[in-house]
Amino acid sequence: MSLHALLQRSKTITLTLACALFFTLPAHADSKTLKMATTTSTYHSGLLDYLLPKFKQQTGYEVQLLVTGSGKALKMGEMGDVDIVLTHSPKAEKAFLDSHFGVDPHGVMYNDFIIVGPKNNPAKLTDADNAAQALQKIADSKSVFISRGDDSGTNKKELALWAINNTAHDWSNYRSIGQGMGPTLNMSSELQGYTLTDRGTWLAYQEKLDLAIWVQGDPALFNQYQIIRVNPERYTGLNVAGAKALSQWFISDKAQKLINDFQVKGQKLFTANAKTSQ
C-alpha cells in the first residue's frame, strides 16, 4: 500500500474518532459530566477504558474524552474547552501552569519510550546504543523513520532526542505524518520503518506489528504522565467539582493500585507514582 493511501486511511480513522468523541459532548456539561483532554497513548493502550467506569461507579461522574496529542490537549485547556487534562509533555505542562491556564498538577504514573523498527534492523542498532546514538544511526543509514509529527508528548520527545547530537532529520525516508501513536505504529510496520513509541501503546499493538524493540532503558526515555485541572478563575462553566474529584481519584491509593494492576496480555503497561512524583 502506498504512503498516500496509508495516510488517507489513518486520517479517516483519526477524524472519525475525533468526530465521534466531539459530538458526544453536550454544549454545557451538567454537574455529573466532565470533559478531559488526554493523549492517544492513554486511550490506545486501553487504560482509560479500564479506569473510568470504576471512577463513574464510585463517584457518579461520567468523563467524556477528547483524545489527541499532548500539545493539542493542553491547547484545549488553554481555551477552556475542557475541565481537566492528562498529558505527558513536561515542558509544555510547565508553560501551561506558568501561564496560569492550569492548577493543582499531580504526577499520576509513568512508563517509558522505546525505539522500535524492522526486524532486519537496517540501521544496525544495538543494545549498547542510547536513544540519541540510535537516531544518529538511523539518519546515517537513511532508513525509514515514521514521526508522529502531531505536537504530542511523544513527538516533542523525539525532537528533543534528535537535538541532543544536533542530528538532522530531513532525508527523504523521514516521514512526519501528523497521526496518533496507533496509526504511527501501523504505518511503521507496513513501511518497515523505525519510530519512537511509548511502551504502553507498543504492548497493546505489538502482536499486530512486524517490528521489534531496538532501544530501551535509556534514562532520556522516561515518560511521566500528569493530571492538571483547568484554572476555574480564567473560565466560566467548568465542572470544578468534577475535575477535583477526578484529579484526587487518580492519585488515590485505589486508583494507583488499579494502574499498577493494569495489564495487556500479561504485561504491565504503567507504573503509578503519585506519591513519589510530587
User: Does residue 41 have a pLDDT over 80?
Assistant: yes
Q: What is the pLDDT of residue 18?
A: 47
Task: Quote the CA–CA distance of 70 and 85 in Å, as a whole number.
Answer: 9
Place of cell 454544549: 27
Q: What is the dihedral of CA 189, 136, 140, 70, to 10 degrees?
A: 40
CATH of the domain at 74: 3.40.190.10
| 235, burial (CB in 10 Å: exposed 0-12, middle 13-18, buried 19+) | middle
Predicted confidence (pLDDT) at residue 265 exceeds the cutoff of 60? yes
Q: What pLDDT score does 95 carry?
A: 97
Would you state the pLDDT for residue 27? Answer: 37
In a domain, 277, yes or no: no
The confidence band for 26, taking pLDDT boundaries of 50, 70 and 90, is very low
Does residue 278 fall inside a structural domain?
Answer: no
Over residues 147-206, the pLDDT tens digits come to 999 988 999 999 999 999 999 999 999 999 999 899 999 999 999 999 999 998 898 899
Same domain, 34 and 82: yes
Do 45 and 34 lie in one domain? The reply is: yes
Please state, in angstroms and as integers, the Cα–Cα distance from residue 273 to each residue in 52, 108, 126, 157, 171, following that order. Answer: 18, 6, 30, 20, 39
Nearest in space to 242 (alpha carbons), one of 63, 80, 66: 63
**Rounded average pLDDT over 238-253:** 97
Mean pLDDT, residues 94-112: 97
pLDDT digits (tens, 9 = 90+) for 48-71: 999 999 999 999 999 999 999 899
Residue 163 lies in a domain: yes
Residue 4 has a pLDDT of 53
Asked whether residue 102 falls in the same domain as residue 137, the answer is no
pLDDT of the residue at 3: 54
pLDDT digits (tens, 9 = 90+) for 269-278: 899 999 886 6
Longest dimension (CA), the chain: 55
Mean pLDDT of 112-137: 95
Domain that holds residue 63: 3-111+223-272
Cα 218 to Cα 222: distance, rounded to the nearest angstrom: 8
In total, how many domains does the chain have? 2
201 in a structural domain: yes
Q: Comparing 61 with 6, which gets the higher pLDDT?
A: 61
Distances 274 to 107, 233, 260 between C-alpha atoms, Å: 5, 25, 11
d(CA 246, CA 238) in angstroms, rounded, equals: 13
129 and 57 share a domain? no
Angle, CA of 249, 30 and 26, to the nearest 5°: 110
